[in-house]
Chain A
Amino acid sequence: MSTTTSTAGGIDRDDLARLAEHWDEPRSLRAWFTTVDHKKIGRRYLVTAGFFFALAGLSALVMRTQLARPEAGVLSPDEYNQLFTMHGTAMIFLFATPMLFGFGNFLVPLMIGSRDMAFPRLNAFGYWVFLFAGLFMWASLPFGAAPNNGWFAYAPLNQEQHNPGLHMDVYALGLLFLGISTTSGAINFIVTALKLRAPGMSLNRVPLFVWAIVATAFMVVFALPALNADNAMLFLDRRFGTHFFDPGGGGNVLLWQHLFWIFGHPDVYIIVMPGLGIVSAVLPAFTRRGVVGYPLIVLAIVAISIVSFGVWVHHMFATGLPQLSYSFFSAASTIITIPSGIQIFAWLATMLLGRLVLRTPLLFVIGFIVTFVLGGFTGAMFALTPFDQQVTDSYFVVAHFHYVLLGGALFPILAGIYYWLPKITGRMYHEGLARWAFWLFFIGMHVTFFPMHLIGLFGMPRRVYTYRGGLGWDVGNLISTIGAYLLAVSLLLTLIGVVHAVRRGRPAPADPWEGDTLEWSAASPPEPYNFPVIPRVHSLHPTWDERTAESTTTGATEDRILSEGRRTLFTSELDARSERAAEMPEPSFKPLVLAGALLVFFISMLLAWYPIAIAAVVTVAATLAAWLWPVRRPDEELGVAS
Chain B
Amino acid sequence: MTDRGGAVAAATGAEALSTELPVGRPTSWWGMVMFVATEATLFACLLGSYFYLRFQYGPQWPPPGIEDPKLLKPLVMTAILLPSSLPVMWAEHGIRHGQRWRLNLGMAATFVMGTSFLVLQGTEYDEKLHMFTLTSNAYGSLFFVITGFHGLHVLVGLSMIGWLLVASLRGGSFGAHRHDRVRNVAIYWHFVDTVWVAILFTIYLSPRL
Contact = CB atoms under 8 A, between A and B. Distances in A.
Instruction: Indicate yes or no for A touching B, C-beta below 8 A.
Output: yes
Contact of B63 (A228, A250, A640): A250
B95 to A, nearest CB: 9
Interface in B172-209: 172-178, 181
A249 interface: yes
B24 interface: yes
B141 A187 contact: no
A573 interface: yes
B171 A194 contact: no
A300 B150 CA distance: 37
A638 interface: yes
Given A195-B26, A233-B49, 18 more contacts: A188-B31, A194-B30, A222-B38, A224-B38, A226-B45, A233-B145, A241-B135, A243-B137, A243-B140, A251-B141, A252-B56, A573-B23, A628-B163, A630-B174, A637-B175, A638-B176, A639-B98, A641-B97
A187 B142 CA distance: 29
Interface in B116-152: 134-142, 145
B176 A640 contact: yes
Interface in A240-255: 240-244, 246, 249-252, 254-255
Nearest to B61: A250
A72 interface: no
B173 A221 contact: no
Q: Is the interface of B mostly helix, strand, loop or mixed?
A: helix
Interface string A177-199: 00000010011101100111000
Given A187-B35, A195-B27, A226 B138 contact: no
A364 to B, nearest CB: 33
B20 interface: yes
B20 A191 contact: no
A633 B172 contact: yes
A105 B148 CA distance: 36
Query: Size range of the interface on A?
Result: 35 or more
A254 B53 CA distance: 10
Contacts of A225: 38-39, 41-42, 44-45
Given A190-B30, A638-B178, A639-B175, A259 B135 contact: no
Given A118-B31, A228-B42, A249 B22 contact: no
A575 interface: yes
B172 A635 contact: yes
B177 A639 contact: yes
Interface in B52-108: 52-53, 56-57, 63, 97-100
A572 interface: yes
A628 B181 contact: yes
B11 interface: no
Contacts of B7: none
Contacts of A190: 30, 34
Contact of B98 (A196, A632, A641): A641
Contacts of B172: 630, 632-635, 638
A250 B53 contact: yes
B169 to A, nearest CB: 12
A29 interface: no
A224 B27 CA distance: 22
